[in-house]
Amino acid sequence: MIWCEFSLLFLSGSALKRIVEFQDILGPEDRRRHYHVSERGTILEFVEQYETFFQGKWFAVVRYDTAHGFAHKDMLRLRSKTLKIRLAETDYNEAMTVAMKDLKANWPKYKIEFLKKVRKP
């Protein structure tokens, strides 16, 4: 179920750009957050993030984004350094599609791994 969809068109120089932002509710304690900026159907930047609600707070578990000038996947950790994996896809449209499909299909696995790590003594 998609909740809080937001779309905005704006003029940047001579180009019309579009921002899309929404949350996809995956379950009572799980959501996928999506954000992207496009121009004429080409993705310029994006964030695709899986979050889970744990101990009264939302935690980012896996995030795909284009920060630092390249598409990558961050495996976020509470007790250790974030694992950054560069994506093979250099085209942001393709990379965003890969990210969306991965989080939709694998969020339960990511949740289990996250909870195993945070519950370790």
Confirm if 104 and 49 have CB atoms less than 8 A apart.
no
Choice between 41 and 5, residue whose per-residue pLDDT is larger: 41
User: pLDDT tens for residues 8-55?
Assistant: 666 666 778 889 999 999 999 999 999 999 999 999 999 999 999 999
Query: Tokens 């519950």 map to which residue?
Result: 119
Q: What percent of the chain has pLDDT over 90?
A: 68
Question: Domain boundaries in the chain?
Answer: 2-118
Confidence band of 118 (pLDDT split at 50, 70, 90): confident
Q: CA of 71: how far to CAs of 16, 18, 23, 48, in Å?
A: 23, 19, 20, 11
This model's pTM is above 0.75: yes
Tokens of 55: 């101990």
Is residue 71 classed as helix, strand or coil in its secondary structure? coil
Where are the alpha helices (H) located in 14-91, listed in sequence order? none
DSSP state of 13: T
54 CB-near residues (< 8 Å, 6+ apart): 29, 114, 115, 118
70 CB-near residues (< 8 Å, 6+ apart): 86, 87, 90
Q: What residue type is assigned to position 70 of the chain? A: F
